[in-house]
Amino acid sequence: MRRASVGAVLLLLLGTVHLAAPRPAAALTLPPGFQLVDYETGQAPYNLTNFAWLDDGGLLTSGKDGTVTYVPPGGVPTVIGTVPSVRAVADHGLLGFALGNDYADSGSVFISYDKGDPAGTGFGMVEEWKAFPPDHPESFTYTRTIIDGSTMTPQLVQGGPTHAIDSILVAPDDTLFLSIGDDSLNNGDPRTLRAQDLDQPYGKLLHFTADGEGVPSNPWYATTAPGSWRSMVYSYGLRNPFRFSLDPRSGVPYVADVGWGRVEEVNTLEAGANGGWPCYEGTKRTTFKNYEVCKQLYAAGTARMPIWTYPHVDKNNAVVGGMHYTGTSYPEEYHGSYFFGDYSRSMLWTLAATPTGELERAPETEGFAVDAGGPVAFQPGPNGDVTYADIVSGTVRRLVHTAGNRAPLAELVATTDAETRTVSFSGSGSYDLDGDTLSHHWDFGDGAEAEGAEAEHTYDSDQPVEVTLTVTDQLGATDTATATVHPANHTPELALELPDPGTYAVGDLVELSATATDAEDGDLTVSWDTALEHCPFAGSCHLHPDGTTTGPSYARPFTDHGNDTTMLVTARAVDSNGATATSTYEAVPTLRTLTVRSPVAVGVNGALAVSSDVVAGSTVQLTAPTRSAHLTFRDWSDGGAAAHSFTMPDADLVLTARYRSAISRKYAALGGRSSFLGAPTSLEYDVPGGRARNYTGGRLYWGPGLGAHEVHGRILAKYAAVGHAGSCLGLPVTDVQTIPGGRRSEFAGGTITYRSRSGRTISSC
């Protein structure tokens, strides 16, 4: 199973306000064509915290109190386990819940929660558990501890009522991301400053392996202390990072940060980014401004500003991070959009941004959805639809678009017991292209009817009857299958000879053979139907019919049809009365992980992605933009051009699209480390209108249409004092120039001049 996962929930989300249910509204409001379909979870109202879809449309769900349930497709929820010693108070409890990438084989589930006495103190925990059997779980059992907050240095103490250990997410490369709140009070508590301390876990987005060690590519990873908090820190400066996801185009985390007294935030935080809390709330400085750590942050100008903020309303606000829509059933305007919500306000919004995080479309002023329950976790549905956990009702809600809904496909199989005229019917082969749960209705042709995917009926006569199966999806779309059934006729017997267990690379021969006999007709011809199940994205699969052949044997090279494709080969035998016997073989691909690293979004087989499951031996098309804002393409690490193809090896592969930024080109032109700028002291970071990077001897800035320019010395000090690029000066348009009696820099909005005789530095806008 390859799907993104989710992780966390809170009931006390903002300031000092203790939230109850979201405010009642007149009625659910959605854009035309959209509606919500609800799924029962077995979790009580105000207990559901998280969920994950299984490949067959079933659900695993987690409750704040540690309860884990399984819901089969269209079935009744069952409790399969309980995580013990969960400290389920206020914001705290079992909050993080994510399926391992190999869940279909291993049943692996990663959880994050507060462990301890509800009346006392707890500790943040990350553990791996197992749901077994994975396809229809009956148990949920402990496997191992990955992070134990009680044994770390410093400890991950969960002492306050809010801002707890939050979401856990499994990345495509099997590493783990974890968000942790600042665990501080809402009254200016100085412990909030731990969000700026890289040796503390609070207010962080962590990135680590399943062995509990930082990922070596992390900004502050130390080979001498790989299991330290500092080695795990990916980004920091967060208050209550409640829900995050990875942009499927770029891999950059989208993090929702619950605000203090002014605004709610949606952030894009790549490795090393500082979200600014508690020195900033949104784009504004806070009452923590007089602390030295905040003064240093203001002077450096390196805080990452949110991609979007919205103001508080009646102090009841609690942003919940969402997901990018990767399906195809919604209108075009929502393709690639980021959906997110607000628990307290019972609302959903959408926004659109470029793969590099520039806002293209602001959220809807009045919201996308109003009175939508209490959203607390988002997850792509089986066909990419937006689905979310509604903690208020305890249901998972699926956002569907009726115009984009595809009708199901009905398939009827009948097996006769000729001696008793009893016919067993199966509609389990019916399926829905959108992943909807189906209902089945049978008309047996003699006046009798039944419901359910499986049915059995005994006829009073040997005479043939026409049987009709009608399948209906959750939006009311239907399909029918009919068959003429001869109750006293024997069903053909089909024997399928299978190859040895294994997987297939592109070009490997899929070989099968079958024989079919019938009590009345003797030997029968076998036909072979091929269908391709293509899964270009996690949680988004579809079928392609791929031809029919006849004969006692089947032999075809394994297909080259893009990412993650399974060949479904169905042998079929039909007697003279239409009685049918079928058997399906799944030719499973040999999948290898292709990871692409790039500072901008690149395409893998026509889709923007950072990691793809690719069939060994398949042809992969890579496309990288030759220019993107301040970056110019140099080469791929395999030596290929910006757009080129290659054959995927029978091994995991990492390829890097290498770019040079305008700032790095300027730095090299000035002489690099041997220039007056000296060595770099920071990574590149965003500033209002452009980018910047710090050096021991100055700073380089870049802006669209302005180029890259250096600022140093007294002029840089003055520029910092007036607010850097966020001031009326804007970005520099020249390097520091020598003029009679001093130096000068030109900016988009004015100048800064240094007079050497007086020692004065003057800015003007």
Confidence (pLDDT) at 705? 86
Residues 626 and 683 placed together within one structural domain of the fold: no
Residue 674's φ and ψ, nearest 5 degrees, are -85, -5
Lowest-confidence segment of 3-17, 140-154, 389-403 by average pLDDT: 3-17
Task: Name which of 305, 340, 344, 347 is nearest 321 in CA terms.
Answer: 340
Residue 1, pLDDT above cutoff 80: no
Residues 214 and 360 placed together within one structural domain of the fold: yes
Domain final position from 404, 420, 453: 404
Residue 514 and residue 581 in contact, taking contact as beta carbons nearer than 8 Å:
no
Output the six-digit token pair for 257.
Answer: 């940060």
Average pLDDT over the chain reads: 91
Residue 450 belongs to a domain: no
Confidence (pLDDT) at 605? 87
Confidence (pLDDT) at 14? 32
**What CATH number should be reported for the domain holding residue 629?**
2.60.40
Span 81-89, average pLDDT? 96
Residue 326 and residue 336 in contact, taking contact as beta carbons nearer than 8 Å:
yes
pLDDT band at 627 (very low <50, low <70, confident <90, very high): confident
Residue 380, pLDDT above cutoff 70: yes
Residue 113 belongs to a domain: yes
Confidence (pLDDT) at 499? 94
Residue 377 and residue 388 in contact, taking contact as beta carbons nearer than 8 Å:
yes
Residue 544, pLDDT above cutoff 90: no
Residue 418 belongs to a domain: no
Q: What is the pLDDT of residues 653-666, one digit of tens each?
A: 999 999 999 999 99
Residue 631 and residue 603 in contact, taking contact as beta carbons nearer than 8 Å:
no
Residue 193's φ and ψ, nearest 5 degrees, are -65, -15
Residue 702 exposure: Cα atoms within 13 Å on the Cβ side: 20
What pairs with residue 611 in β-bridges?
Answer: 595
Output the six-digit token pair for 175.
Answer: 């590493």
pLDDT band at 443 (very low <50, low <70, confident <90, very high): very high
Residues 352 and 392 placed together within one structural domain of the fold: yes
**What CATH number should be reported for the domain holding residue 307?**
2.120.10.30
User: What is the percentage of the chain residues whose pLDDT exceeds 90?
Assistant: 77
Confidence (pLDDT) at 135? 94
Residues 599 and 730 placed together within one structural domain of the fold: no
Residue 109 and residue 168 in contact, taking contact as beta carbons nearer than 8 Å:
no
pLDDT band at 517 (very low <50, low <70, confident <90, very high): very high
Residues 756 and 632 placed together within one structural domain of the fold: no
Confidence (pLDDT) at 537? 67
Q: Which domain holds residue 325?
A: 34-404
Span 554-580, average pLDDT? 92
* Sheet order of strands, 742-747 included: 737-739, 742-747, 750-755, 760-764
Residue 582 belongs to a domain: no
Residue 276 and residue 35 in contact, taking contact as beta carbons nearer than 8 Å:
no
Residue 148 and residue 157 in contact, taking contact as beta carbons nearer than 8 Å:
no
Distance between CA atoms of 45 and 58, rounded to whole angstroms?
20
Confidence (pLDDT) at 25? 44
**Type of residue found at 171:** A
Residues 617 and 740 placed together within one structural domain of the fold: no
Span 618-623, average pLDDT? 94
Q: What is the pLDDT of residues 448-487, one digit of tens each?
A: 999 999 999 999 999 999 999 999 998 889 999 999 999 9
**Type of residue found at 626:** T
Residues 314 and 352 placed together within one structural domain of the fold: yes
Q: What is the pLDDT of residues 8-62, one digit of tens each?
A: 333 333 332 333 344 444 489 999 999 999 999 999 999 999 999 998 899 999 9
pLDDT band at 110 (very low <50, low <70, confident <90, very high): very high
Q: Considering the entire predicted model, what is its pTM?
A: 0.73
Instruction: Render 409-454 in DSSP notation, one character per residue.
Output: B---EEEEETTTTEEEEE-TT-B-TT----EEEEE-SSS-EEESSE
Lowest-confidence segment of 14-23, 239-248, 690-699 by average pLDDT: 14-23
Name all contacts of 483-486 with Cβ < 8 Å and 24+ positions apart. Answer: 483/412, 483/414, 483/578, 483/580, 484/577, 484/578, 485/414, 485/416, 485/423, 485/445, 485/578, 485/579, 486/416, 486/462, 486/577, 486/578, 486/579
Which residues have C-beta within 8 Å of that of residue 607, sequence separation ≥ 6? 536, 537, 563
- Tally of structural domains, the chain: 3
Residue 311 Cα distances to 10, 263, 307, 322, 619, angstroms = 20, 4, 14, 19, 49
Which residues have C-beta within 8 Å of that of residue 523, sequence separation ≥ 6? 515, 516, 517
Residues 678 and 648 placed together within one structural domain of the fold: no
Residue 109 belongs to a domain: yes
**DSSP E strand boundaries for 42-186:** 48-53, 59-63, 67-71, 78-82, 94-99, 108-116, 122-132, 139-148, 157-158, 165-170, 176-180
Confidence (pLDDT) at 628? 79
User: What is the percentage of the chain residues whose pLDDT exceeds 70?
Assistant: 96
Residues 735 and 675 placed together within one structural domain of the fold: yes
Residues 738 and 601 placed together within one structural domain of the fold: no
Residue 195, pLDDT above cutoff 50: yes
Residues 730 and 612 placed together within one structural domain of the fold: no
Residues 49 and 194 placed together within one structural domain of the fold: yes
Domain final position from 617, 636, 661: 661
Residue 576 belongs to a domain: no
Domain final position from 362, 385, 404: 404
